[in-house]
Amino acid sequence: MKIIDAHVHFSNIAAFKETAQAQSVVDYTAEGLLEEFKNAGVIAGVGMGVTETVEGAFPDSAAMNPMLLDLSDSLPGKLFTCVGINPLTLHLDGQVDALEQSLRSDRVIGIKLYAGYYHYNIGDEIYGPVYKLASAYQIPIVIHGGLTYADQGLLKYSHPLSMEETFFEYRNLTFMLCHHGDPWIMDTAALLEKNPNLYTDLSGWIVGDAAKVERLLAEQTYTDHFKGPIIFAEKYDRLVFGTDWPLVPLNAYITFVKSLIPQVHWEDVFYNNALRVFPKLKGLIE
């Protein structure tokens, strides 16, 4: 079975390096990513652009737009990009133009908003130029949902229900809400029910190594937290596999997600749905 990992990181962020070393025990390098892709049968990945101007500053108020993947000088050939947005610098001269220029690249297949990390509702007018460009280039908007990895975040901006008006207002756009909005999984399931332009990825539910994944697989209370809303919505055509690498090893997380999804839907969740969210990707890998 072919797999697309629709949510990975490949940026020079101190917190990612620390997690890779101390918790997930993965090799957070281009070589490490490609080796995990090979071993797990992952044919392509989507990297979420984010940058730090000062080590440990994420979410960095001074980062310029668009935020890219800067872990190394060159990107692995199997890795594509959702360029990240820093709303705090978007008003500066040349920033919107730089974002538009990036969207012309074949390797850029989406735009990432860091709701909660940056203290703006996704419907705030500050994001108006982003939605205008997404409409013009017919490119999806990916949005962080749920708990933030940095304690500077404000959860009222990353709660899935705070985003519904935007999903409704921009019915012409495709949105992908990250992490199924965890811990508000059921709220996200309800949004999937009534917003046909909304997808959600299944990334970031575990931070840790393979042993931790195995332990949580045996915790029914934990797995039921995810299974219940997935079964409630039955929107298997809009669930998208992702890992949030380097926060967890790929193979272990694939096993975890497979345990939550009926096998008949694996091909959609692990492959086809990513191509529906990111139509540019289809012409690049097939």
pLDDT of residue 164: 98
Q: In this structure, what are the phi and psi dihedrals at residue 207, rounded to the nearest 5 degrees? A: -115, 115
Structure tokens, 150: 């940095």
Whole-number pLDDT of residue 128: 98
Per-residue pLDDT at 150: 87
What is the distance between the alpha carbons of residues 274 and 46, in angstroms, rounded to a whole number? 9
Which two three-digit tokens encode residue 196?
Answer: 């046909």
Bridge partners of 200?
A: 177, 239
* CATH code (residue 278): 3.20.20.140
Backbone angle region of 13, left / alpha / beta, with phi > 0 → left and psi within -120 to 50 → alpha:
beta
Which parts of the chain have pLDDT scores under 70? Answer: none
For residues 96-119, one letter each, b for 16 or more C-beta atoms within 10 angstroms of the residue's C-beta and e for the rest, the string is beebeebbeeebbbbbbbbbbbbe
Q: What six digits make up the tokens of 141?
A: 């908007």
Closest by CA position to 85, among listed 54, 114, 43: 114
**Model pTM score:** 0.98
Pick from 182, 213, 244, 215: which is nearest to 19 by CA? 244
What per-residue confidence (pLDDT) applies to 208?
98
The Cβ of residue 283 has, within 10 Å, a number of other Cβ atoms equal to 9
- pLDDT score at 210: 98
Which pLDDT belongs to residue 283?
A: 87
**Domain encompassing residue 18:** 3-285
Query: How many other C-beta atoms lie within 10 A of the C-beta of residue 262?
Result: 12
Number of domains the chain contains: 1
Tokens in use for 125?
A: 């007018």
Token pair in block for residue 98: 């730089």
How far is 55 from 210, CA to CA, in rounded Å? Answer: 28
Q: How far apart are the first and last CA of the chain?
A: 14
Question: Which residue has tokens 């460009």?
Answer: 133
- What does the block give as tokens for 263? 């096998």
CA 233/CA 225 separation, integer angstroms: 14
Buried b (16+ CB within 10 A) or exposed e, 7-28: bbbbbebeebeebbeeebbbeb
| 141/266 Cα distance (integer angstroms) | 24
Q: What is the DSSP letter of 4?
A: E
Distance CA 216, CA 206 (A): 9
> Reduced to 3 states, what is the DSSP secondary structure of residue 5?
strand
